[in-house]
A and B are shown apart, each in its own frame.
Chain A
Amino acid sequence: MLIRRPDDILPSEITPREVYFNRRQWMAGAAGLALAAALPKGLEAAPLSAAKSPFSTDEKKTSREDVTSYNNYYEFGTGKEDPAAKAGSLKTSPWTVKVDGMVGKPAEFAIEDLIKSSALEERIYRMRCVEGWSMVIPWVGFPLADLIKRVEPLGSAKYVAFETAFRPEEMPGMDSIFPVLEWPYVEGLRLDEAMNPLTLLAVGLYGETLPNQNGAPIRLVVPWKYGFKGIKSITRISFVDKQPATSWNKQAPSEYGFYANVNPNVDHPRWSQATERRIGEGGLFAKRRPTVMFNGYAEQVASLYTGMDLRKLY
C-alpha cells in the first residue's frame, strides 16, 4: 500500500509554545476554571497539518462540540461533562513520554519533539464505548508502530504497557470519596496489536492539538477495541514480557478483559453489546444501530485473534 509522506508542519502554523502555555497558566491560576470553560475552545488548540489516510472512514463525523464535551476521563470525574469542565487544570507542558523496558534504545521524548519528528496523519475512526455509544472522530496522530521501531524492542518484549499521568493536584477526580479506579490509569496491548497499522498515538483531533479532556497531549487510539483501551495523557510506554495489568480489568475482571475487542456477540455481563447509539445522530429519537465485529475493522485485525476463544478472552 502506498502511504504518502505528509508535509511537515509549517513553523508559521504553530503558536509559539511560550504564548500558548503562558496563557494556559494564567487561565488556570488567576482566572480559574469557570473562565476556562467559558472561553471558546479554539483558543487553546494549535493547528496540526496531517496527511490523509486510507484507513479513514467516510462515515459522518461526530461534531467537534460533541467529541470535546462528552468524555469519559475519570481522573476528572465520572460525569460525561466533568472532563470538559475540569481538565483545564492539567498542565501539558513540559511533557515527556518515557519509553523503557525491553528495548534497545530506551528514550525520553519531549512531546514537541515527538510531534515534530513524526509523520502525522489524519485518521477518521469509529470509536465504540463499552457503555453502548459510539462516535466518528477525526484524530491526528502517528502509528504507534513508528515509535516502536525507533526504540528497537528486544526479542523478549511481548507486550506494551502504558501509563497515564498521576497528578492528583491537577486531576480533581482522583481524590473522590470512593476511588473509582486505581491510579494511575494503566493500559496494555500485545506487541502485534501495538504494531498493527491501525493503532494510533493521537496528538490532535479536528486538525488541532488535543483538548485536555480528550487526553492531551498524547493518547492511544485502538479503533477495534472499546474506548477505555485508549489511554489518555500518556507519560510512559514500557515493553514487557508478561501481559500487563490494565485499569478496568483490575476494577472488575469479569466485566472488562485485557483484550476488550468490540464484539456484538459477547455481552458485558450487565448489558448487551449488540447495538449502539451513534452520538449526534437524530437527537432524542436516534435509533440504535447494530454493533459490528471489531468495530468494523475485522479486515485489518481479525487475523490477530485466529484460534482464540473471544468469549473467554473478552
Chain B
Amino acid sequence: MAGRASVQGERKGFALPQVPKIAVYIVGFIPAVWLFYAGVQDRLGADPMRYLEQALGLWALRFLIATLTITPLRQLFNVNLLRYRRALGLLAFYYAALHLTTYLVLDQGLDLAAIGADIVKRPYITIGMATFVILIPLAVTSNNAAIRRMGGQAWAKLHRLVYLAAIGAALHFLLVVKSWPTEPIVYAAIVAVLLGYRLVRPMVKKPSPRRRAA
C-alpha cells in the first residue's frame, strides 16, 4: 500500500536486512494452512467450526494492526518496514475474506435468510460486513498500477479508510463476546493507541527541519 517514492526517501532509517516480500505472504499464510489442515483432521477441539471462524478473524485483525504499526515504527523508532505494508494489508484482507467465507458457508450453511437477518439485526454482523466492504477497495487498489492511475494523493486519501476498518474490526470482536473478556479489550486498546497516535502527532509535532519523506 506504499508509494515507491517514500521507500527511497527513508533509506537512511534503521538498517534491517531485507527479505523478499513473497516471504511475508508465505509466512503470513502459515496460520491459515495450519488451521484448515487441523480442521479437516478434526484437531480444532470440541467446536472446530467456531475455532476456525474465530482464529481467521483474529488473524485478519492482527494483520490489520500490523499495517497500522508501520508508520509509527518509522516515525518514532526509525524502523522502516514500509516495503512490507502492502503484503500485510493484503493478508488482512485475505484473512477477512476467509473469516467471512467460514461464517457464510460453514457457520450458516449458506442459509441466505438467516444471513440476511443477521446482517440487518445483529450489530456485530452489520459492522463485520461493513468492515469487509471497506477493505475491498483498499485491496483492489493495492498495486502500483492503481497508485499511478489514481495519483498518490487520491490513493492515500482512499487508503485512510483503513482506520475505519480497524475500528470496525475491533468493535466487531468486542460485540461478539459475552461480558468483557480481556482479549478483545486488549486488541481494541491497541487499535485505539495506533489511531490515537495519528490524531495526536500532528498536534504535538513541531515543524521539524528534518525532511518530509521525499
Binding site for B on A (CB under 8 A): 65-66, 69-70, 74, 78, 80-81, 130-131, 133, 176-178, 180-181, 248, 251-252, 255, 267, 270-272, 274-275, 277, 279-280, 283-288
Beyond the given A69-B46, A176-B182, A284-B52, please list 8 additional residue pairs across the A-B interface where CB-CB is below 8 A. A130-B178, A133-B50, A178-B181, A270-B123, A271-B118, A272-B118, A283-B39, A284-B42
Contacts of A274 in B (CB 8 A): 114
Distance (whole angstroms) from the CB of B196 to the closest CB of chain A: 20
Task: Please tell me if the beta carbons of B39 and A177 are within 8 angstroms of each other in the complex.
Answer: no
Number of chain B interface residues as a range: 20 to 34
Contacts of B46 in A (CB 8 A): 65-66, 69-70, 80, 279-280
Main secondary structure of the interface of A (DSSP, over half): loop
Distance (whole angstroms) from the CB of A163 to the closest CB of chain B: 19
CB closest residue in chain A, given B178: A131
Interface hits, B40-73 → A, CB 8 Å: 40, 42, 44-50, 52
Q: Which of A255, A267, A270, A280 contacts B124 (CB 8 A)?
A: A270
B34 CB–A CB distance under 8 Å: no
Contacts of B117 in A (CB 8 A): 272
CB closest residue in chain B, given A78: B181
11 A-B pairs in the complex with CB atoms less than 8 angstroms apart: A70-B47, A74-B179, A78-B181, A176-B182, A178-B181, A178-B185, A181-B179, A255-B178, A270-B122, A270-B176, A288-B107
Contacts of B175 in A (CB 8 A): 270
Q: How far is the CA of A135 from the CA of B47 in the complex (A)?
A: 11
Binding site for A on B (CB under 8 A): 39-40, 42, 44-50, 52, 106-109, 111, 114, 117-118, 121-124, 175-183, 185
Given A176-B182, A180-B179, A275-B114, check contact A288 B122 (CB 8 Å): no
Contacts of B118 in A (CB 8 A): 271-272
Q: Which of B39, B114, B181 contacts A180 (CB 8 A)?
A: B181
Contacts of A65 in B (CB 8 A): 46
Task: Please tell me if the beta carbons of A177 and B179 are within 8 angstroms of each other in the complex.
Answer: no
Q: How far is the CA of A78 from the CA of B178 in the complex (A)?
A: 9
Q: Which of A180, A271, A275, A286 contacts B180 (CB 8 A)?
A: A180
Contacts of B42 in A (CB 8 A): 283-284
Given A279-B47, A284-B48, check contact A252 B114 (CB 8 Å): no
